């Protein structure tokens, strides 16, 4: 019922939205002599804010057409290399002629960046992808919006997620590297453990976990406490709704993206209110650059997708309530998941000092689980002065975190080459 009411509210606000857009366009028109007056800027600012607050935010575009490598622009073309109804594996293919002009002639490590399936689209990692493109062949998991997947396609749960990670790693060939950002940490570690136990040649060469809830019992945050305090039945009764018409997934039970967005924003409501007030003031002052930065951030932040009922509830249950993976109790398709079976996969964990989503220690827990790895295979890094978002995006990520991750991958890539040569 809530989903239907949400849709009804959106369509009911259409007259207000259209009026706001018309007012904004009128007072921003170069043909309007009053556009630069105080009244004109005030009316334009108010109408612009109202139009943005009432519009629908769809899947953002990647917008990555090129990347600078050693001072040379290199064209980039996103290419789909594999897909299922639930995900599109996208390869950001760099132009080989441009790469040669940049002095890069050798094959560079293949990296699978596993985007979180926790409300936002994979484009939230745009800055992450741009950084990795400087030195790697980059592949990204672009997850589907559950409301757009017909019911006839069946279920998608935590175990399907693990299977998808395994299959996408196989698509990259022998010993690719995998970067799990936030939510994917537990299923990616499970996939790596199963592949290691099976001796698959496409098991990762290294795995990097960034702000991931490997063991959510450490430094519990507001998110963790909510999951622990509420009984499982509460989540099923209060967080799951049915997709209405006319979406392709009509009838599917989902955890709606707008519910997740409300949860995100309520955690820092005052900060979001202040940001919108600053946006209004910037528009009234005619500060277009600052206003554009605000829009760029919120165009991404307010774009959300739905999760299937089974995936969301199993994640709450397995990761945040029962803590199955760190307790050694996770069973996948009848098999126990044993991180201790990992013996030749590099492990790096990255955390943010001020992370209010995955607290300090939650990601580091992966080191204690991977008992088969020697210290030479492990590295931990805590980035000072950043929160959750800063672990994988922003200036400190580009200047301080990414160079460490790149060096870690290169070190293990060199070790893999020596192993292959010796064999």
Residue-wise pLDDT for 282-309, tens only, equals 667 766 666 667 667 767 777 899 999 9
Most confident of 150-159, 243-252, 253-262: 150-159
Residue 325 included in any domain: yes
Looking at the fold, whether 170 and 142 belong to one and the same domain comes out as: yes
The answer to whether the peptide bond before residue 246 is cis (omega within 30 degrees of 0) is yes
Q: Which residue has the higher pLDDT, 277 or 218?
A: 218
Q: Quickly state the pLDDT bin for 416 (edges 50, 70, 90).
A: low
* Position 249 in a domain: no
The pLDDT score that the predictor gives to residue 129 is 97
Instruction: Provide the sign of the torsion angle of the four alpha carbons 32, 35, 40, 44, taken in this order.
Output: positive
Range of the domain at 47: 2-56+257-301
| 248 occurs within a structural domain | no
- Position with higher pLDDT, 88 vs 3: 88
Please check whether residues 187 and 279 belong to one and the same domain. Answer: no
pLDDT in tens, 327-380: 999 999 999 999 999 999 999 999 999 998 999 999 999 999 999 999 999 999
Bridge partners, residue 241, by sequence:
254
Which pTM value belongs to this model? 0.89
**The predicted structure's pLDDT at residue 320:** 96
Residue 70 belongs to domain with CATH number = 3.40.50.1820
Predicted pLDDT of residue 265: 66
pLDDT band at 54 (very low <50, low <70, confident <90, very high): low
- Domains in the chain: how many in total? 2
Whether residues 289 and 332 share a domain: the answer is: no
In this structure, are 376 and 262 located in the same domain? Answer: no
Q: Is residue 243 part of a domain?
A: no
48 and 173 together in one domain: no
Do 89 and 225 lie in a common domain? yes
- Say whether both 326 and 416 belong to one domain: yes
- Look at residue 70 and tell me if it is in a domain: yes
In a domain, 261, yes or no: yes
Query: Cβ distance 345 to 329 under 8 Å?
Result: no
Same domain, 166 and 138: yes
């Amino acid at each position: 019922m809530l989903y239907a009411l949400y849709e009804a509210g959106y369509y009911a606000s259409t007259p207000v939205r259209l009026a706001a857009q018309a007012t904004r366009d009128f007072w921003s028109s170069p043909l309007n002599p009053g556009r630069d007056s105080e009244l004109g800027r005030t009316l334009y600012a108010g109408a612009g804010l109202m139009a943005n607050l009432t519009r629908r935010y769809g899947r953002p575009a990647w917008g990555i057409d090129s990347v600078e490598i050693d001072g040379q622009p290199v064209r980039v073309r996103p290419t789909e290399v594999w897909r299922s109804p639930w995900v599109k594996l996208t390869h950001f293919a760099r132009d080989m002629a441009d790469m040669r002009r940049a002095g890069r002639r050798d094959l560079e490590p293949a990296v699978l960046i596993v985007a979180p399936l926790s409300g936002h689209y994979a484009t939230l990692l745009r800055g992450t992808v741009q950084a990795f493109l400087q030195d790697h062949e980059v592949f990204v998991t672009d997850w589907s919006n559950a409301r757009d997947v017909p019911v006839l396609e069946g279920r998608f749960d935590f175990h399907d997620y693990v299977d998808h990670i395994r299959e996408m790693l196989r698509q990259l060939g022998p010993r690719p590297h995998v970067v799990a950002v936030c939510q994917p940490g537990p299923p990616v570690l499970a996939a790596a453990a199963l592949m290691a136990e099976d001796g698959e040649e496409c098991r990762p060469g290294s795995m990097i976990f960034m702000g991931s809830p490997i063991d959510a019992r450490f430094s519990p945050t507001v998110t963790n406490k909510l999951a622990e305090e509420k009984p499982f039945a509460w989540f099923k009764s209060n967080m799951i709704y049915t997709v209405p018409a006319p979406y392709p997934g009509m009838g599917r039970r989902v955890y709606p993206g707008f519910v997740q967005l409300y949860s995100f924003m309520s955690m820092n409501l005052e900060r979001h209110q202040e940001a919108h007030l600053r946006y209004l003031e910037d528009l009234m002052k005619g500060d277009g650059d600052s206003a554009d930065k605000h829009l760029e951030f919120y165009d991404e932040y307010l774009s959300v997708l739905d999760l299937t009922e089974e995936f969301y509830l199993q994640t709450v249950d397995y990761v945040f309530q029962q803590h199955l993976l760190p307790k050694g109790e996770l069973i996948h398709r009848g098999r126990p998941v044993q991180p201790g079976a990992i013996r030749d996969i590099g492990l790096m964990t990255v955390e943010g000092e001020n992370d209010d989503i995955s607290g300090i220690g939650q990601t580091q827990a992966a080191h204690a689980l991977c008992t088969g790895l020697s210290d030479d295979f492990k590295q931990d890094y805590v980035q000072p002065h950043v929160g959750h978002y800063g672990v994988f995006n922003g200036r400190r990520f580009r200047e301080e975190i990414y160079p460490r991750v790149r060096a870690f991958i290169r070190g293990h890539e060199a070790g893999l080459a020596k192993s292959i040569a010796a064999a």
